[in-house]
Structure 1
Amino acid sequence: MKWIDAPGILVFWVLAVVVFLQFFTRYVLNDSLAWTEEVARYLLILVCFLGAITATRRGAHITLEFLMRMVPPRLAKGLTVLSQTITLGFFASMTWIGIELTQKTRQKMISLPIPKAWIYTICVVALGLMAFYSAIWLWRRLRQSPEDLVRSLDDHLPTD
Structure 2
Amino acid sequence: MTPSIDDMPAVMGDDGQFHAQDEAVDLSDTKLEAWVALGFFWILGATVFYQFFTRYVMNDSAAWTEEIARYLLIAVVFTGATIGVVKNNHIQVDFFYKFMPTPMARAMATVVDVLRVGFFAAAAVLTVMMMLKLGSNSRMTMVDLPMNWVYGICLLGFIAMAFRSVQIALFHHRRGYSVLERPESSMDDK
TM-score by length of 2: 0.73
Deviation at 1:71, TM superposition (A): 3.1
- Note closer, same or farther for the CA distance 1:73–1:102 as it changes in structure 2 (3 Å cut): same
Which of 143, 150, 168 aligns to 1:112? It is: 143
What corresponds to 1:8 in structure 2? 37
- Larger fraction in helix: 1
2: CA distance between counterparts of 1:65 and 1:87? 16
Equivalent of 1:98, from 127, 130, 144?
A: 127
Structure 1 length normalisation: TM-score?
0.86
1:87, 1:134 within 8 Å by CA — same for their partners in 2? yes
Tell me how many residue pairs correspond in the alignment: 155
Matches within 5 A, 1:4-153: 4-105=33-134, 106=136, 107-146=138-177, 150-151=181-182, 153=183
C-alpha separation between the residues in 1 aligned to 2:97 and 2:77?
Answer: 28
Q: Does the residue aligned with 1:154 lie in a helix, a strand or coil?
A: coil
Structure 1 residue 9: Cα displacement: 0.7
The structure with the largest alpha-carbon Rg is 2
Cα distance in 2 for residues equivalent to 1:147 and 1:112: 45
Quote how far apart the aligned CAs of 1:148 are: 9.0
2:124, 2:159 within 8 Å by CA — same for their partners in 1?
yes
Q: Percent identity?
A: 35
Runs of 4+ more than 4 Å apart: 146-149
Matched residue SS, 2:60: coil
Instruction: Give RMSD over aligned pairs.
Output: 2.1
Gaps of 5+ in 2: 1-29
SS of equivalent residue, structure 2 residue 184? helix
Asked if the contact 1:76–1:150 (Cα under 8 Å) also holds between the matched residues in 2, the reply is yes
Aligned equivalents of 1:27, 1:139: Cα separation in 2: 52
Equivalent position SS for 1:14: helix
